Amino acid sequence: MKAQILIVEDDKDLIELLEYRLSKEGYETLGFLSTKNVKKVINEEIIDLILMDRNLPDIEGSEFISMLREKDGMDIPVIYLSAKDSKYHVREGFLRGGDDYVTKPFEMTELMLRIEAILRRTKKNSQANNVTFRDIHLDLNSRIVIIENREVELTKLEFDLLHTLIIHQGNVLKRDFLLKNVWGKGAGYQGRTVNVALNRLKEKIDPDKSKDYIKTVRGVGYTIQ
């Protein structure tokens, strides 16, 4: 899907130029001469990136963005366009991660490269590596576990165990299988090892035993389904 880029810039000609080039690069554009209707549009449209003039007649572009971020939790990356000397402003620390800064006059090609870079970066962040079962969500990158909208802290072993169970959901996993796949050893463990680990996990993900995520299959192993 085409990325939508919102432009806020008081120079009409520059908007036109930007829109021309951006559409040639395959982006959708929305141009605004002031911040007037921007907030509304942001709430209604899916905007991937904002090109923001920093020196607008009515309000500081970065002020406006900060406000949106703080008050509305706006999270769209921004590239600021500014005539002012960059060094001075960069130090100010108004830039967030993912944001960038380009001084006018700028090379159109350079701007395109930066836009591309930012869009690539944010796209990647949103393509998280998740695994889900009912209301259990595992993020494999951050190793964060969310159960019923609450974050649950699991140890490495517990996380790996739950991960394995969910990947193979619907199957009953035998102790040997779990030992091999989670503990990673052919043998060397005896007795209740898997047993205890499983029950520790059960306790953590469902303390009041109301959800019954993990089922014990007597004589065989464990399953999640």
Partner DNA sequence: ATTAAAGGTTACATATTGGTAACAAAATAT
Partner DNA sequence: ATATTTTGTTACCAATATGTAACCTTTAAT
Residues lying near DNA in the complex (CB under 7 A) are found at 44, 153, 155-158, 183, 188-193, 195-200, 202-203, 216, 218-221
Cα atoms found within 13 Å of the Cα of residue 191, Cβ hemisphere only: 2
The amino acid at residue 136 is: I
Q: Which stretch binds its own copies (CB under 8 A): 24-32, 68-76, 177-185, 217-225?
A: 217-225
Report residue 29 as tokens.
């554009």
Buried b vs exposed e over 71-94: b needs ≥16 C-beta within 10 Å?
Answer: eeebebbbbbbbeeeeeebeeeeb
Beta bridge mates, 81: 53, 102
Q: Is 141 in the site for its own copies (CB under 8 A)?
A: yes
Q: Which stretch binds its own copies (CB under 8 A): 34-42, 56-64, 127-135, 202-210?
A: 127-135
Distances (CA, A) of 215 to 5, 158, 164, 201, 212: 49, 16, 14, 12, 7
Sole binder of its own copies in the list 27, 32, 64, 133 (CB under 8 A): 133
CB under 8 A, 24+ apart: contacts of 209-214: 211/134, 213/133, 213/134, 213/136, 214/165
* Minimum distance of its own copies from residue 37's CB (angstroms): 28
Q: Is 218 in the site for its own copies (CB under 8 A)?
A: yes
Q: What is the x/- site pattern for its own copies, positions 80-119, by CB under 8 A?
A: ------xx-xxx-x-xxxxxxxxx---x--x--xx-----
Sole binder of its own copies in the list 23, 37, 43, 155 (CB under 8 A): 155
Q: Given its phi and psi angles, is residue 38 left (phi above 0), alpha (psi -120 to 50 degrees) or beta?
A: alpha
If the CB atoms of residues 52 and 102 are measured against its own copies, the closer one turns out to be: 102
The size of the interface with its own copies (CB under 8 A), counted in residues, is 55
Rg of the chain taking only CA atoms, in angstroms:
25
Q: Which residues bind its own copies (CB under 8 A)?
A: 1, 86-87, 89-91, 93, 95-103, 107, 110, 113-114, 120-121, 123-125, 127-133, 135, 137, 139, 141-144, 146, 149, 155-157, 166, 169-172, 217-220, 223, 225
